[in-house]
Amino acid sequence: MRTLNVFFAIGGCALALAFAPKDLHAQAPEGHGIAGFWSLAPGPTPPRRAPTPAEAELIALFPEGTVLLADAGAVEFPPGDYGGLEVHEHLREAAKDYDPANQTDPSLTCRPPSVIYAMQGPFPIEIFEGRDLIVIKLEYFDLVRIVFMNETEHPDDWPHSHTGHSFGRWEGDTLVVDTAKLSPATLFNNGVDHSEDVRLLERFRLADPNTLIVTQEFEDPGSFVGRAARIMTFRRGDDHVYPYDCDPTYGIAIESRQGRD
């Protein structure tokens, strides 16, 4: 019965989005303004720079002792650097044998990361806000996230995947999303993956109509000690997410978008 309910909910959402007026950007009439096309703002993110007042408000919500990582966007930590996070010894030892060149192997090139890594990558996203569902479409590896706004727990029988299972709630003007059931995948692009037991908490808040701030908090006792976080700022644009079109034959991702900088 749950499968049928999800099927009809997603189908209804798809129909609503298909016939929504274009200028609403698939925004529910009672929506909160987050729907639309968003690109990661260029430049460093906290802690590589001082946070803006809006960013500082969200950072203040992190539990004491949370490690704020400085690898959001196009930045990558070098081998052996985990941004101050205490990664377990066996993973650090295994990472010493990590060879980035292997990622060009056709068997690995089109294997997507989980949303923990994908959300902070330098690719745009598109958000569709409904009453019972929020859909977040990522250009990176064509990942699509469904946030159930009418659920409050993760089903035991939900399959693990790169997008997992997400439910959300509004706390005033902030969308809070809880995600679990993620398949093991890239945590740091220097050889360390998270486990299937990782839990992700995100907050989405508009700083102004054209600026969206997103924070991640995640815990994974199987991979590291304590709690980690990232913060990202997105700018609104007038566009759509295009197919990523990963082609394993050439070992590269080919985007169909023409003329993208």
Domains and CATH numbers, the chain: 2-253 (2.40.128.20)
Rounded Cα–Cα distance for residues 250 and 260 (Å): 20
Q: Which residues pair with 205 in a beta bridge?
A: 174, 213
pLDDT of residue 97: 83
Question: pLDDT confidence of 76, banded at 50, 70, 90?
Answer: confident
Backbone angles phi, psi at 140, to 5 degrees: -65, 115
Give me the pLDDT at residue 248, please.
Answer: 73
Residue with the larger pLDDT of the pair 61 and 79 = 61
The stretch 153-170 carries a mean pLDDT of: 97
CA gap 239, 38 in Å, rounded: 9
The model's confidence at residue 21, banded by pLDDT at 50, 70 and 90, is very low
The structure tokens listed for 127 are 């958000």
Amino acid code (one letter) for 258: Q
Please give the full DSSP string across 240-254, using - where no structure is assigned.
Answer: ------EETTTTEE-
pLDDT band, residue 100 (cuts 50/70/90): low
C-beta atoms surrounding 125 within 10 Å: 24
Rounded Cα distance between 137 and 27, Å, is 14
Q: Mean pLDDT throughout 71-97?
A: 90
Least confident of 98-102, 206-210, 223-227: 98-102
- Residue 104 banded pLDDT, cuts 50, 70, 90: low
What pLDDT, on the 0 to 100 scale, is given for residue 63? Answer: 97
pLDDT confidence bin for 107, thresholds 50/70/90: low
pLDDT given at position 86: 96
Q: Give the percent of the chain with pLDDT over 90.
A: 65
| pLDDT value for 66 | 98
The pLDDT value recorded for residue 30 is: 67
Residue 79's pLDDT is 87
Provide the pLDDT confidence category of residue 112 given band limits of 50, 70 and 90: confident
Any alpha helices (H) in the chain, and if so which ranges? 2-18, 53-59, 89-95, 106-109, 115-118
Q: What is the pLDDT of residues 29-42, one digit of tens each?
A: 668 999 999 999 99
pLDDT in tens, 220-233: 999 999 999 999 99
In the prediction, which pLDDT does 38 show? 98
